[in-house]
């Protein structure tokens, strides 16, 4: 069951009580971190999440509010005596920024593996976290290379012991069958996993999109998400044009995307530092998408 | 009168309630910032200091806990529509790190002027802040190039109007004389400033030293400081050897330096993240140097 914590909800600049947007998703002790602005390691401490769990960092883009926490965070990981490799993914074009930041911490006791993602949709299995976890990246529209990310944890279908017993399958083969493998029994029978499992369970999907205009591609990308986390710089619709021009979106844009994507829930994040009271827009936003939440730093859920 | 605020007191890693060590010293609306670790701009907000006042940044060295707040802080200065140049001083050898960090914020609306300080004692007048302000830098001993800094604000001697009246000096010449200029009166007499001023007033001296072994050079450098701010990683004297080996010092080392330098007051800072209760050493430290303070984030004074 993924444990999700939105470490910060700020865009552009951290405020006294609002850290920069960053998402922590933990799967059975191994975690994905999305974005790492200044102060992210402090937010970890404040929300009692363990740095040592991080197995992978996904960077949406290289603007300072999304990356300048990297050197401090990596040094802290080094101080925890980490030796396992750390993988960092980011959109093509930001290699210089990422490498420049990492030059501040050039004596780490663990390897850092950098992956530059081409400007096209791509998916991969994050087996180092969970063999059932698939990560997808979508280029979005922020005037600079920027990616949205989606994490989909597939679930094994439910094993049906009564069915296995009625087929007289020895217990020692049950685990292999549940893991999806075909087995040959001592009596020569070949058993397919589908003979002893029920219907497939719905995967758990989390989508994170920030720093982009509200482009239609996001709708399919976030389709059926259990949790869609999306930027909402302002709630004041007078700012729509200027926000979209700057490669951002309003809270209302995010709600429309969530509705069209048929997401189960929407958490807003990446508020402008000038948006001091995002909660004031809630009623208006619920008319567009009832399951919207005006997230605050530390917002968390187990899905 | 300088207004001093120790924005953070942490060494190595920021903690939930302890930002990284950074000193803000304001002289009549223009400020010097010494060191800028991750989160410094948040500490500015927490302690209600204005970013826009910063005229100069002095960096002790390029380790992450002293510099990774630079990109965010400079971008925030840019968001305040700053156009005046910003000067950054750092010890020779750290140019790559500083420039790499600044590459994250390459569209600033103001010029950044970098000064690399050679590994030797040096002093200069910071006229852009106050024509009476002298800054000195001292190479210290941290195994990598590292500087201590001392800020000395000279004060004009007190003007003595009775003396000026008795010499029948027209009032319009008083200001020039008080500023230290020699004037020729309409009647041909040449008046020296010393004829109308009292004894010189003692300058205000602030010394900031962190990330170094307790070397004897620091004693003269901090001599007669009104406020000496110095690292004290631990209070446990069992750690002395390992700290000195790592290029650091204990709280007791700092107290001895303060005593030998005949400083008026000592503020400790740059505590190890493992030193959770620095206050517990106060009584022991006061036996070495009675005017020691176990500083906390936001410690401030007007001198």
* A41 contacts chain B (CB < 8 A): yes
A13 lies in the same domain as A94: yes
Q: For the residues B275-293, what does the mean pLDDT come to?
A: 97
Please tell me which of the candidates B15, B62, B104 has its beta carbon nearest to residue A45.
B15
A84 lies in the same domain as A142: yes
Please tell me which of the candidates B68, B79, B97 has its beta carbon nearest to residue A68.
B68
B143 lies in the same domain as B256: yes
Mutate to test the interface with B, among A39, A40, A41, A74 (most CBs of B within 10 A): A39
pLDDT at A179: 83
Inside any domain, residue B300:
no
pLDDT at B191: 95
What are the tens digits of pLDDT across the range B204-245? 999 999 999 999 999 999 999 999 999 999 999 999 999 999
Tell me the shortest Cα–Cα distance from A67 to chain B, in angstroms. Answer: 9
Of the candidates B195, B219, B242, which is a domain's last residue? B195
Gap between the terminal Cα atoms of chain A:
6
What are the tens digits of pLDDT across the range B39-93? 999 999 999 999 999 999 999 999 999 999 999 999 999 988 899 999 999 999 9
Inside any domain, residue B183:
yes
The pLDDT of residue B107 is above 90: no
A171 lies in the same domain as A121: no
B57 lies in the same domain as B168: no
B46 lies in the same domain as B190: no
pLDDT at B154: 93
Q: Which of B65, B130, B211, B297 is catalytic?
A: B65
* A101 contacts chain B (CB < 8 A): yes
Range of the domain at A293: 3-156+200-302
- What was the ipTM of the complex prediction? 0.85
Q: B106 falls in which pLDDT band (50, 70, 90)?
A: confident
Averaged pLDDT, groups of 10, chain A, 303 residues long: 96 93 96 97 94 97 96 93 95 96 90 97 96 96 97 92 94 90 93 90 96 98 98 96 94 98 98 96 98 98 95
Inside any domain, residue B116:
yes
A191 lies in the same domain as A91: no
Of the candidates A195, A218, A252, which is a domain's last residue? A195
Q: What CATH number does the domain containing A74 carry?
A: 3.60.15.10
A165 lies in the same domain as A127: no
> What is the pTM (predicted TM-score) of this model?
0.89
Tell me the shortest Cα–Cα distance from A166 to chain B, in angstroms. Answer: 57
pLDDT at B80: 85
Inside any domain, residue B299:
no
A13 lies in the same domain as A77: yes
Interface contact A100-B100, CB threshold 8 A: yes
d(CA B225, CA B265) in angstroms, rounded, equals 8
B177 lies in the same domain as B250: no
B46 lies in the same domain as B191: no
A36 lies in the same domain as A167: no
Q: Is B187 a catalytic residue?
A: no
- The whole-chain average pLDDT of chain B stands at 95
Tell me the shortest Cα–Cα distance from B15 to chain A, in angstroms. Answer: 6
What are the tens digits of pLDDT across the range B153-186? 998 888 999 999 999 999 999 999 988 889 999 9
Q: How many domains does chain B have?
A: 2
Report which of A41, A19, A23, A42 is spatially closest to residue A33, judged by C-alpha positions.
Answer: A23
pLDDT at A105: 87
């Amino acid at each position: 069951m993924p444990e999700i914590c939105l470490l910060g909800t700020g865009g552009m600049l951290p405020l006294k009580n609002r850290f920069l947007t960053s998402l922590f998703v933990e799967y059975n002790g191994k975690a994905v971190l999305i974005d790492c602005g200044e102060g992210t390691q402090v937010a970890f401490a404040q929300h009692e999440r363990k740095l040592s769990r991080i197995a992978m960092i996904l960077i949406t883009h290289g603007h300072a509010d999304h990356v300048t926490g990297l050197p401090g965070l990596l040094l802290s990981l080094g101080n925890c005596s980490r030796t396992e490799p750390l993988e960092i993914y980011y959109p093509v074009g930001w290699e210089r920024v990422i490498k420049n930041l990492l030059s501040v911490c050039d004596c780490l006791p663990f390897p850092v593996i950098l992956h530059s993602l081409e400007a096209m949709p791509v998916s991969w299995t994050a087996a180092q976290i969970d063999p059932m976890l698939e990560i997808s990246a979508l280029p979005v529209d922020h005037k600079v290379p920027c990616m949205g990310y989606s994490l989909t944890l597939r679930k094994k279908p439910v094993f049906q012991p009564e069915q296995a017993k009625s087929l007289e399958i020895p217990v020692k083969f049950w685990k292999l069958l549940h893991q999806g493998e075909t087995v040959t029994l001592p009596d020569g029978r070949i058993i397919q996993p589908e003979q002893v499992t029920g219907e497939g369970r719905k995967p758990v999907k989390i989508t994170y999109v920030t720093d982009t205009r509200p482009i239609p591609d996001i709708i399919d990308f976030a389709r059926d998400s259990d949790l869609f986390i999306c930027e909402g710089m302002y709630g004041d619709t007078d700012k729509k044009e200027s926000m979209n021009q700057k490669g951002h979106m309003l809270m209302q844009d995010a709600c429309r995307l969530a509705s069209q994507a048929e997401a189960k829930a929407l958490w807003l994040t990446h508020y402008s530092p000038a948006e001091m009271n995002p909660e004031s827009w809630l009623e208006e936003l619920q008319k567009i998408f009832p399951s919207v939440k005006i997230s605050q730093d530390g917002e968390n859920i187990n899905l």
